[in-house]
Structures are given as C-alpha cells and as structure tokens.
Amino acid sequence: MSDLQDQVAVVVGSSSGMGRATAIGLADRGAKVVLAARRRDKLEELASEIGTNTLVCVVDVEDTEQVEALIRSTLDAFGRIDILVYATGTNIPERSLQDLSYETWNMMINTNLTGAFYCTKAVLPVMRQQQAGLIIYLSSGCVQSPDMSGVSYQATKCGMSGLAHGTFKEEQENGVRTTVIFPGLCDTPLVFKRPTPTPPEVMAKALQPQDVADACLFVATLPERARVPELVLLPAGL
C-alpha cells in the first residue's frame, strides 16, 4: 500500500464514529484532511487532535449551497481533492412502517442518500479536471442481509449502491473511482437510536469504528489502476 502524502481527503461526517476514525487514519497516512459535519465543536476538537493540514468546514449535507461551499473552501485551502468519504448517516427510533411518517421518511432520504448525491455532484467537476479521484460511500450490511433497521434506512443504504456504481460507469474514463463499504453492526453513536437497546454481549462482538477506517484506508491507498467496487465488512462473531 502507498502512503497518502500530499493527497487531499474530504471526510463528510467526521465529527464522530466511522467518519472520525477515518479522518484520523487518513491524516496519519499523510493526507491533508477536510473535516466536514454539522457540529463545529466536535470538528474543532478533532482538528486539534490531528494537528496541521486540516480544515474545519461546518456543513449540512441537505443544503446544496453549503455542500458547494465545502468544495470551494477545500480548493481554496489545498488546491485539489483526491478523496471524498461520505460517512454521514442517521436513523430513527420510530423506524417501523407503522410509525414512519412522511416527514421522517424524507429526512432519512435527504440525509443518507440525497446528501451523498449533493456531495458527489459538487466534487465531480474537480475530479474530472484532475482526471483522478476516489469516492468512498459508507453504506450498511443491511443491504446484503435485510434486518429490522427500518425500511427508510435500508432504502437509503441500497440507494447508495446505485449512486456509486452509476457514477463510476459515467465517470471511469475521467479517472474517477467509487467504492461502497458495507459495515455490519458497529459500536457507534447510531446504535443508541435503536428502539430497543442492543444487549452488551452483542455489542462486545461488534465492529469498532477503527475497523471501518482501516477498510477505507485499504481502498484509498491502492494504486489508481485498482478499484474495489464493494467491500462487505462484518463482525466475525455475529
């Protein structure tokens, strides 16, 4: 694997969980990292931990102007964008069809899927001009094994596959690569949004955010001639 010295990575959803661990890992490998999420305090805390070559950008992925400003700020600071990691995602306790409302359905679609499209749409002109770029989407293991995470969550995570693979088909001649990573149960704050708490003995076997970050780093450090379309990462004990 190569290092990422002087490459520029934008991590959307880097304030916690998998995104946070991925941002740290990219910085450790030498990348300049743009930390993007809604919570400025968490981003600034992470930037202080990483040190130099970071940029904090507060962004709501449901707002196209804020997403486009994120890309402009990155270019102003670092001049290029080599990697985009879309690690933003949410779920709700009221996830059953009986409880799901039109409003919560739209919120889930906007955050988990439309936000990924907005970020993809905004970064592609940069990667086309460079004739190189990698987009990593963090989806969910529920795509391969449907579960009780809720139809809105599963629909958005399945939709990310279509976004990723369709983008690659259109943009591969421009040097753009895409990867979808499907993590299984992971010990992140999202677990606390489950309607019923997950038993401690189950969580003890869950993936850790660092495991997902390591998968992102594996993909990001491959040479440009190589592409991983999909990567399924599941807890070995569940």
| The pair of three-digit structure tokens given for residue 110, joined into one six-digit string | 């906007």
Task: Identify the H or E element spanning 34.
Answer: strand 32-37
79 phi and psi angles, rounded to 5 deg: 85, -10
32: which strand partners?
Answer: 8
- Per annotation, catalytic residue among 86, 118, 137, 153: 153
The HSE-up count of residue 181 (CA atoms within 13 Å, CB side) is 27
Residue 222 and residue 148 in contact, taking contact as beta carbons nearer than 8 Å: no
Nearest residue to 33 via CA among 2, 74, 72, 79: 74
Distance CA 14, CA 39 (A): 10
Residue 151 and residue 101 in contact, taking contact as beta carbons nearer than 8 Å: no
| 86 catalytically annotated | no
- Counting beta carbons within 10 angstroms of the beta carbon of residue 213, is it exposed (0 to 12), middle (13 to 18) or buried (19 or more)? buried
Residue 137 and residue 178 in contact, taking contact as beta carbons nearer than 8 Å: yes
180: which strand partners?
Answer: 137, 230
The HSE-up count of residue 187 (CA atoms within 13 Å, CB side) is 13
Distance CA 212, CA 141 (A): 12
Which residues carry out catalysis? 153
